[in-house]
Structure 1
Amino acid sequence: MEKNKKWYLLVFLGCVWGSSFLLMKLGLKGVSPVQMGSLRILFAAAFLLLVGFKHIAKIPHHKWKFIALTALMGTFLPAYLFAVALSKIDGSISSILNSLTPLNALIFGILFFKVDVQRRQIFGVIIGFIGCVLLVLFGDGENTTENYYYALLIVLASICYGINVNLIKKHLSDLKPLTISTGNFVVMLVPALVILYFSGFFETVHQQKVLTSLGYIAVLGVVGTGLSNILFFKLIQISSPVFASSVTYLIPVVAILLGYFIMNETLTFVQGIGAFVVLLGVYFSSRKQL
């Protein structure tokens, strides 16, 4: 049972984060990208302080620098990068580019964290990346107005994630996932609130479209960020940075399926092949831990 726990966590996180792109697009209908990034952090912070406040005292003084660093790389910067990018490009494209995270986790793990990586893991990452390329190159081709320069923001976010998983594995593995998550959002709470204040949000909060967006962002913040962060840190601790970051290979599969069944988007044959290749890559990248 314990052996399969990492797989249950991987699939659950893939489903939640795959759905998050839809929630972000819906949230952006009533608020600006900067406002959504701040609100997402604040909703997650409220949830984590409610369930994990007593864990703050369990963080050793010398660990706070790593808590702050993982907060910056793992949530704060990506929250705003994704929000700005999704104001210009589709969620499906963003979710696919996010799948660069395992590759970045592997690269930074080898270069800076002395991670012991087996050849089969590298093979798995490459296979998964090929699947993502298939999903990108052989999509429907209907979104001709996409501004793909904003896609670079997603790539930058995936680099942040890749660094973050290695930092957690090396420096924070001795802390409980809830402790890490609560500490992260304590660090981010004030900066996010300051940014939200100067964004002009409180002058428009009474508008109906803003209130509707708040509902989507609340779910995104509590489930897609707060709860998921706890489970993701647990996954890193019981597996490896490469396996944990492989959840980003499942995210585009979920995003495409949601688009097909809920938004009536077309799922091409090659996209189906790409999704299969992605799952194959996840399998091989996890082989070291089996």
Structure 2
Amino acid sequence: MKIVENNLKWVYLIVLSLIWGSSFILMKKALLGLTPMQVGAFRIIITAIFLMAIGFKRILNLTKRQWYYLLLNALLGTFFPVFLFAYGIDKIDSSIASILNSFTPLNTLIFGALFFGIGFTKRQAIGVFTGLAGTILLILKGAELHPNQNYFYAILILIASVGYALNVNILKKYLQDVDAIAIAVANFVLMIIPAFIILWNTQFFETFQPTHTNVMAMVYMVILSVLGTALAKIMFNKLVQITTPIFSSSVTYIIPIVAITWGILDGEKISFIQFIAGLVILFGVYLVNRNKSK
């Protein structure tokens, strides 16, 4: 069983990296026809409909205590991040956003130590500060090279990574024994009504025009929601349950490689200094993860 889980965790890690690495360019394309609020709301609504169709019965026996942690899980791991990422990618390159997302494992360690009783060693502390240095360099250089882009919005990506970090610790500590599909379905059942209210208030139904750009934006949203959110969420929940929080969040090692490749194909530019800054962040994450693995 252990051998199967050990092999399976690497399959999940690689597949999730490919899916989530492609999510950044999908968000960027969807934003050509939709506002950030609409992208976030649609991502939740479409995902919720899909998940309820395939697994609504799985949530019927959840306990009140489990629903409490599922609500925290939904807010921190999905609801706020989908809007934060939509606004962030609307203002900065999707490839840069993916590199900033690599701060998630570092935040997982920090908040795991602060709130969940996870040990914090000297090497892990060095990894955290190394990653922080790379992040600052990446943001400053990006602001210098792309004065037309508002790098203040990079902070939104970092805030979202904090939500992801808290989410993965909650999953591991309080929802370890809950079915992975049930977790995903419950998350989006809790979010669908707030998301619909947000979408309604964007005047989408009054202003949407079926132009080629807008229709393609909706196509990208369906792909992002079903593949990049619903199925990926189920896989990630399972990954957390069979591994550690730090290993699970280290999916962000590979995500930037996929996202940067898509970004370059789409005409985005990344400088040598930004590339080095990205490597510094990933090295910081490596230090944290390597120590934890031992």
Shift of 1:211: 1.8
2:156 aligned partner: 153
User: TM-score of the superposition, structure 2-length normalised?
Assistant: 0.87
1:78 is aligned to 2:51: no
- Judged with a 3 Å threshold, the aligned counterparts in structure 2 of structure 1 residues 126 and 234 are, in CA distance, closer, same or farther, namely farther
Contact kept in structure 1, 2:143 and 2:150, CA below 8 Å: no
- Judged with a 3 Å threshold, the aligned counterparts in structure 2 of structure 1 residues 289 and 179 are, in CA distance, closer, same or farther, namely farther
Shift of 1:183: 0.5
The letter of the residue matching 1:181 is: A
1:210 aligned partner: 214
Give 1:25's match in structure 2, choosing from 16, 25, 28.
28
Identity of aligned residues (%): 47
Moved more, 99-108 or 64-73: 99-108
Moved more, 135-144 or 216-225: 135-144
* CA distance in 2: counterparts of 1:177 and 1:215, whole angstroms: 27
1:112 is aligned to 2:106: no
User: TM-score of the superposition, structure 1-length normalised?
Assistant: 0.88
Which segments of 5 or more consecutive residues in structure 2 lack a partner in the other structure?
A: none
Moved more, 95-104 or 221-230: 95-104
- Judged with a 3 Å threshold, the aligned counterparts in structure 2 of structure 1 residues 13 and 131 are, in CA distance, closer, same or farther, namely farther
Shift of 1:275: 5.8
1:14 is aligned to 2:20: no
The letter of the residue matching 2:204 is: F
1:164 aligned partner: 167
1:93 aligned partner: 96
* CA distance in 2: counterparts of 1:247 and 1:286, whole angstroms: 11
2:190 aligned partner: 187
Instruction: State the secondary structure of the residue aligned to 2:149.
Output: coil
Moved more, 102-111 or 87-96: 87-96
Instruction: State the secondary structure of the residue aligned to 2:178.
Output: coil
2:6 aligned partner: 3
* CA distance in 2: counterparts of 1:88 and 1:124, whole angstroms: 28
* CA distance in 2: counterparts of 1:246 and 1:212, whole angstroms: 32
- Judged with a 3 Å threshold, the aligned counterparts in structure 2 of structure 1 residues 123 and 12 are, in CA distance, closer, same or farther, namely farther
* CA distance in 2: counterparts of 1:131 and 1:226, whole angstroms: 31
Instruction: State the secondary structure of the residue aligned to 1:246.
Output: helix
Moved more, 147-156 or 29-38: 147-156
C-alpha offsets along residues 118-160 of structure 1, whole Å, 9 cap, x if unaligned?
Answer: 5555555566666666765667964221111111111111111
- Judged with a 3 Å threshold, the aligned counterparts in structure 2 of structure 1 residues 59 and 39 are, in CA distance, closer, same or farther, namely same
Shift of 1:42: 0.8
Contact kept in structure 2, 1:41 and 1:188, CA below 8 Å: yes
Moved more, 235-244 or 129-138: 129-138
1:234 aligned partner: 238
Give 1:257's match in structure 2, choosing from 244, 256, 261.
261
C-alpha offsets along residues 101-121 of structure 1, whole Å, 9 cap, x if unaligned?
Answer: 111111111011101355555
* CA distance in 2: counterparts of 1:225 and 1:99, whole angstroms: 18
C-alpha offsets along residues 49-87 of structure 1, whole Å, 9 cap, x if unaligned?
Answer: 111111111312221111111100000001111112222
Contact kept in structure 2, 1:98 and 1:248, CA below 8 Å: yes
Give 2:223's match in structure 1, choosing from 212, 219, 224.
219
* CA distance in 1: counterparts of 2:176 and 2:36, whole angstroms: 33
- Judged with a 3 Å threshold, the aligned counterparts in structure 2 of structure 1 residues 149 and 141 are, in CA distance, closer, same or farther, namely closer
Which segments of 5 or more consecutive residues in structure 1 lack a partner in the other structure?
A: none
* CA distance in 2: counterparts of 1:115 and 1:105, whole angstroms: 10
The letter of the residue matching 2:245 is: P
Structural mapping, 1:117-132, within 5 Å? 117=120
* CA distance in 1: counterparts of 2:113 and 2:238, whole angstroms: 22
* CA distance in 2: counterparts of 1:5 and 1:121, whole angstroms: 26
Structural mapping, 1:55-74, within 5 Å? 55-74=58-77
